[in-house]
């Protein structure tokens, strides 16, 4: 029963995230009002505190249920906190020494943790790592809960990957996964603000446009504004996963087996 309840909570959090990203497309009048009354920094400003609070509450409930169900013990909770904090510190290094484009050190640890410990652990680590990193780098803003949701989905889907024997096939799979999410993260995060930028250009969202036209406009917008930035993130993910994937997986797997942790995929 607890397992089903936990899965339902994860499903609810995913649904809330999807609705948060997509509602301007289904309620275009709200997007027009927001675009008319706020500058770019004000988009989604009213949504952010509520979404952050809801997401954190769901993560807390999940942790309590997992501990009671013995899928996670106290040492694994500590490991989750340590991995999330360590990943957040990597973002501090990025702020101090910026890389090219959207290059980020954060996604490889989230992917590897989700791959080793399971989908639900990966979701928790992705959300917590983005929250802690925002707090220590001053990156708190209306975009934060959307970044948390998307990073959580990175860790979640990493836990769905097949567990191949250690070696080149496993690393190639993880590298391809990291490359894809490097692009997908940017494509999803653009939806945070794109529906609110209403204009007459071919890259602007037009309220009332059909699905085909909306996809074409967004594709043009993405190619013009984000593709090269996101390719740097994808390339960075590939390099980090190929270089560090095998030793990090071995270390995390030893920790998992040592504390008799049940994979919560």
Is residue 254 classed exposed, middle or buried when 0-12, 13-18 and 19+ CB atoms within 10 A define those classes? exposed
Query: What is the number of domains present in the chain?
Result: 1
Domain assignment of residue 17, given as a range: 2-258
Residue 9: inside a domain? yes
Question: Which range (69-83, 125-139, 144-158, 211-225) has the least confidence?
Answer: 69-83
Q: In angstroms, what CA-CA distances link 11 with 18, 135, 153? A: 11, 26, 11
Per-residue pLDDT for 37 more than 50?
no
| 205 bridge partner residues | 198
Residue 265: inside a domain? no
Per-residue pLDDT for 195 more than 70?
yes
Residue 264: inside a domain? no
CA torsion sign, 17 to 225 to 141 to 157? positive
Comparing C-alpha atoms, which of 71, 79, 124, 73 is closest to residue 262?
A: 71
Whole-model pTM: value is: 0.86
Residue 263: inside a domain? no
- Residue 106, SS3 per DSSP: coil
pLDDT, greater one: 152 or 69: 152
Specify whether the CB–CB gap between 190 and 221 falls below 8 A: yes
pLDDT recorded at residue 80: 85
């Amino acid at each position: 029963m607890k397992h089903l309840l936990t899965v339902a909570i994860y499903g609810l959090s995913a649904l809330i995230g999807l609705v948060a990203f997509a509602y301007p497309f289904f309620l275009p009048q709200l997007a027009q009002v927001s675009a008319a009354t706020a500058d770019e920094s004000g988009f989604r400003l009213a949504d952010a505190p509520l979404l952050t609070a809801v997401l954190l509450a769901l993560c807390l409930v999940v942790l309590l249920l997992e501990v009671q169900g013995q899928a996670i013990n106290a040492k694994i909770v500590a490991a989750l906190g340590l991995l999330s904090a360590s990943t957040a510190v990597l973002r501090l290094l990025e702020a101090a020494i910026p890389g090219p484009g959207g290059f980020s050190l954060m996604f490889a640890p989230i992917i590897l943790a989700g791959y080793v410990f399971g989908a639900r652990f990966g979701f928790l680590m992705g959300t917590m790592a983005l929250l802690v990193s925002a707090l220590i780098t001053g990156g708190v803003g209306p975009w934060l809960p959307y970044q948390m949701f998307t990073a959580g989905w990175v860790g979640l889907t990493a836990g769905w990957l097949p567990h191949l024997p250690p070696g080149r096939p496993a690393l190639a799979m993880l590298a391809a996964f990291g490359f894809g999410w490097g692009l997908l993260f940017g494509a999803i995060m653009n939806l945070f603000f794109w529906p609110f930028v209403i204009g007459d250009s071919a890259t602007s969202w037009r309220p009332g446009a059909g699905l085909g036209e909306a996809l074409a406009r967004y594709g043009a917008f993405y190619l013009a504004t984000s593709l090269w930035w996101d390719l740097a993130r994808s390339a960075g993910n590939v390099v980090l996963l190929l270089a560090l994937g095998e030793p990090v997986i071995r270390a995390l797997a030893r920790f998992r087996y040592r504390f008799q942790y049940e994979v919560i995929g």
